[in-house]
Amino acid sequence: MAGGNQKIGKYEIVSELGRGAMGVVYKGLDPVINRYVAIKTVIRQGGGAEAAELAERFKQEAQAAGRLNHPAVVGVYDYGEDGDQAYIVMEFVDGSTLSELSKYSGVFDVEGIIDLMVKVLDGLNFAHSKGIVHRDIKPSNIMRTADGEVKITDFGIARIESSELTQIGTVIGTPGYMSPEQLMGQRVDHRSDIFSCGILLYELLTGERAFASTNVTSTIYKVVHTELPPVSKICPTVPAAMDPVLARALAKNPGDRYQSAQEFAQALEAALRTAPVPAVAAPAPEDERTVIRALQFDDQGTVIATGNSRPDETGGISASQADAGAGTAEPLRESALREAPAPVPARNRRAPMKVTLGLVGAVVVGIAVAAVTLLHGEGGGADKAPAVPQVVTSPHAAEAPTASAPAARTVAASPGRHKAGDTFRDCEACPDMVVVAPGSFVQGSPDTESDREPNEGPQHTVKIAYPLAVGRYEVTRGEFAQFAGDTGYEAMGCWVYDGSWRLDDTASWRSPGFVQTDDHPATCISWQDAEAYVRWLSKRTGKRYRLLTSSEWEYIARAGSTAARAGGDDPAAACSVGNVADRSAAKVYQDWKVHGCQDGYIYTAPVGKFKANKFGVYDMSGNVFEWVQDCWNSSYQGAPTDGSAWTQGDCGKRVLRGASWFSMPRYDRFAFRNHFAQDRRSATFGFRVARRLPGS
């Protein structure tokens, strides 16, 4: 049932949002007040006590959430029955669940995590004050909206103090997130939710499952009997002041925990104030701890795909094409990936960041009122929880000012002559530019360079005799959105990666197959898309913007270096200067060939997170490949030596320079060149802009 004039009760069905074993969630329209709603249904079929309890529990969900009018709780508007199905009508939420967001790196920092948890605890404190215990706090039941707000959903197994429905003796919930007393079938109260929030916070801060195991019995034993190591020992960038806060929240005895959600929230905020907070949370170091594979799950928690296969290095095509995303295998997917809001800084510190979402669709609530009745011997499995949160961000951000997020930006270009190193912007929506001095360099690679490709020679001297301004950062998604919004430009269809490469007609720079914010580089960009952007930027500013030439790109990337790569000749040093295929990614895609270091990101990183080179330019290594003006030629024989674009050769294909988040060491070299058709889009393709300065 979806679309057309079909209805549930008085509500018109717009589309199907999700489906599980026991029901479906629809996007609907309330025709009376003309607002969109989410309609959660359950089929009332069969007989007996089990079916009756399921129906009663579904009704109880409506009663529980319906008693709660709080910004952090998904609102319930109506309950009804239509034929053989019961339904709950709820607030339609434009956002993503934490189980979706936490699969991707770079989404949360420490302040953002604490702010999120404080909002969750605020909502739970309100529920507890109304006599309602949620009993199933986990990543898939917490949502973040497009404005960075938090919504608690799925009160399907909540206990209302006045209800006697399955209160003692039956264990219902998700074992990896349940309190010891809940797992042992004892009576639970609001302090059980506090324990579950402690587990959720622990996982968000560390990027690891708190009580990881391969079976439900082992999980139960760990929750009841084992203590977790201090979070700061796993992630040194998490303040040590968080350790006692989490230890108290995760106390085995409810009497030793915080006695209210408000008390827990206040302790978190106090810990954040009393210790300096690094800019980002680092991934856990490589050691003897178990690394959990990033599995994909359906709405019931059942594994449906591992998504960890990497195509071979050639995929039936050139090695350079394989690295840029030309594989053709069809992977299993959990669902269409959705865009997510940006991380929201800690409360009372600064205004939330807002990100425009490119998709109308939303994730709403957990579909089924799923339960694991352990005392009845039903298999549930601790590992049926959502995928392991991948809270891995750049460990280098805490090391030096150059590794933190971009600083405040100059609003306009200063008049007069520019000096090397000057930065400016030609308009509020324009990219940051940095002035690069003229100079010369040797382009290409010597025959002795390891992993050298034949198209990287012969080496030749190139002279850049003119001052040039180049984008300090790759063009961001936010900047590209300005162009798309002004022009109505569409750029749909992109090669995306989720274990193997495939063409997705619905993917675009708005939805490249992983979570981004407006500070990430625009990707899923073709050469034609990049050219359209620079034409728009030139018209808007009255300045002649363009793509870099291949020679200019290599001159700026090298910044005087004669080494093979930005981190020097050691591939393991790459993570200090760029976002490449590294150990962070290998935890998810275990057969990748990676650099022997951790940059903290699996997919793209926000621009400016790594060290700038000597010219003051960021991300010339990794993050995304960058389109340049040049046509493709299979060698440098006859190439220009004055810095100009090579406009002869196969101009149906254009050159890409640099490396990307997908690049293994052999491709992360200054001399490496790639090429694709002008209209090719990939989740590894982006660009940066340039313009020659007056008088040159």
**Inter-residue contact 551 to 441 (CB < 8 Å):** no
Task: Please tell me the chain's helix, strand, coil percentages from 3-state DSSP, rounded to the nearest 5.
Answer: 25, 20, 55
Burial environment of residue 144 by CB neighbours within 10 A (0 to 12, 13 to 18, 19 or more): buried
d(CA 406, CA 473): 9
- Residue 483, token pair as written in the block: 């162009």
**Inter-residue contact 345 to 353 (CB < 8 Å):** yes
**Inter-residue contact 413 to 425 (CB < 8 Å):** yes
**Inter-residue contact 28 to 9 (CB < 8 Å):** no
Using CA atoms, how far residue 170 sits from 186, 379, 566, 596, in Å, is 8, 14, 59, 48
With tokens 């206990």, the residue in question is 159
**Inter-residue contact 190 to 132 (CB < 8 Å):** no
Candidates 4, 37, 632, 587; CA nearest to 295 is 587
d(CA 154, CA 148): 19
Q: 30, 94, 109, 136: which is the annotated catalytic residue? A: 136
Give the DSSP H or E segment for 197: helix 190-206
| Residue 136 known to be catalytic | yes
* Entry field: residues in the chain: 696
Spell 633-654 as b/e; 16+ CB within 10 A means b: beebeebbeebbbbeebeeebb
d(CA 48, CA 187): 25
Candidates 18, 239, 218; CA nearest to 109 is 239
Written as one string, the DSSP assignment of 89-103 is EEE---EEEHHHHTT
Number of H helices, E strands in the chain: 14, 26
Crossing angle of the two packed helices 261-274 and 190-206, in degrees rounded to 10: 30
**Inter-residue contact 175 to 138 (CB < 8 Å):** no
d(CA 396, CA 605): 12
d(CA 328, CA 486): 34
d(CA 376, CA 72): 34
Active-site positions read: 136
